[in-house]
Amino acid sequence: MSQTLRIIRPDDFHLHLRDDAQMQSVLPFSATQFARAIVMPNLKTPVTTTTMALAYRQRILTALPDKLKKDFEPLMTLYLTDNTTPDEIKHAKNCGFIHGVKLYPAGATTHSDAGVTDIKHCYATLEAMEANSLPLLIHGEVTDPDIDLFDREKIFIDRVLEPLVRRFPKLRIVLEHITTEDAAAFVTSAPDTVAATITAHHLHYNRNAIFQNGIRPHYYCLPVLKRERHRQALIKAATSGNAKFFLGTDSAPHTQSMKETACGCAGIFTAHAAVELYTEIFEQANALDKLEAFTSINGAVFYQLPRNKTVTTLRKEPWRVPETISYASETLVPLRAGEIVHWKATSTP
């Protein structure tokens, strides 16, 4: 008998679904694995208004295959700009479908050009979020070109996040896709209003993966992978049972041709095997008893959502990840392409 685990069906608290035919290609992977997902608003035209978020939500629901329609709920977000108004925040809250507002420092990552140039421009809007209990989701990197790429998260915490937490003591904040021991330590010691998502790829790989016998664009994401010491700190945080840490894949599809080029895009696709990749880490850390809290409980509690009612079964069963996955009219290269994943997840109604 192979080893079997049953957990509450997981949620993904950080996901890029893209749009149109590309969304059609990747959405079934997330909808198979997750009951709900916080959908990132960094489309080519950023999702900056409630109206745009509701239209995007409708496109996601329409794109869901019939057999998954009842299994997946997109949790929408707004893209914060220097010009987002407090009124827009009230609309967002009142519509009932928007669960967070995403702060991209302008220029920090894919489709972030319309992001915030200085957080001071957003104070009135952040006050409205605090008053309306709408969480702020943060891409936590400074964009100052003088700052070393590998230090951008740590400097962001010191310069922006720490003062922000003090200024807005009731604002719920998620530091997204944390990559450093500094971030894990900051979140651990911060007030309960502050939480963090952790990706599967930052738990599995350190920065050596990007340079293994040559340049490996499929391991390039933002924030970039860090040294082994940081990866170990993330594993410790994820498997600690601390309710401040929860699953957010940051699965970020790009076409193979946009990754394998002289100036490749940032982003790693993991939606095809996300829950299994996390399970591998928890098994290696001897912490399978902490898996369910991380994948299926802590995030829902932080976002004030009910617990999922269905169950996911995980079997210790090796399977090989395909070399490529079709992505609209092109292909994408998933994480672990051509390699073995050691667990297999199935949902049970």
Residues interacting with ligand NCD, by CB under 6 A? 16, 42, 109-110, 139, 221-222, 250, 252, 266-267
Distance separating alpha carbons of residues 63 and 24, to the nearest angstrom: 6
| # binding residues, Zn ion (CB under 5 A) | 1
Q: Which is nearer to ligand NCD, 251 or 347 (CB)?
A: 251
Q: Which is nearer to ligand NCD, 31 or 332 (CB)?
A: 332
Helices (H), 293-343: 298-302
User: Smallest distance, Å, CB 335 to Zn ion?
Assistant: 14
- Can you state the angle between helices 86-95 and 123-132, rounded to 10 degrees? 30
Determine if 71 is a binding residue for Zn ion (CB under 5 A).
no
Active-site choice (11, 12, 71, 250)? 250
Distance separating alpha carbons of residues 297 and 169, to the nearest angstrom: 24
DSSP 268: B
Residue with tokens 């700052």: 147
With beta carbons less than 8 A apart as the criterion, state whether 187 and 243 touch.
Answer: no
User: Smallest distance, Å, CB 239 to ligand NCD?
Assistant: 22
Binding partner of residue 297 among Zn ion, ligand NCD, none, CB cut-off 5 to 8 Å per kind = none
User: Smallest distance, Å, CB 325 to ligand NCD?
Assistant: 16
Binding partner of residue 267 among Zn ion, ligand NCD, none, CB cut-off 5 to 8 Å per kind = ligand NCD
What is the sign of the dihedral through the CA atoms of 189, 115, 172 and 176? negative
Distance separating alpha carbons of residues 61 and 64, to the nearest angstrom: 5
Judging by DSSP bridges, how do beta strands 73-79 and 325-327 pair with one another? unpaired
Binding partner of residue 221 among Zn ion, ligand NCD, none, CB cut-off 5 to 8 Å per kind = ligand NCD
Binders of Zn ion among 242-261, rule CB under 5 A?
250
User: Smallest distance, Å, CB 15 to Zn ion?
Assistant: 8
Classify residue 336 as left (phi > 0), alpha (psi -120 to 50) or beta: left
Q: Which is nearer to ligand NCD, 9 or 139 (CB)?
A: 139
Binding partner of residue 266 among ligand NCD, Zn ion, none, CB cut-off 5 to 8 Å per kind = ligand NCD
Q: Which is nearer to ligand NCD, 153 or 182 (CB)?
A: 153
Q: Is 250 a catalytic residue?
A: yes
DSSP 135: -
Which helix (H) or strand (E) segment is 93 a member of?
helix 86-95
User: Smallest distance, Å, CB 139 to ligand NCD?
Assistant: 5
Catalytic residues: 250
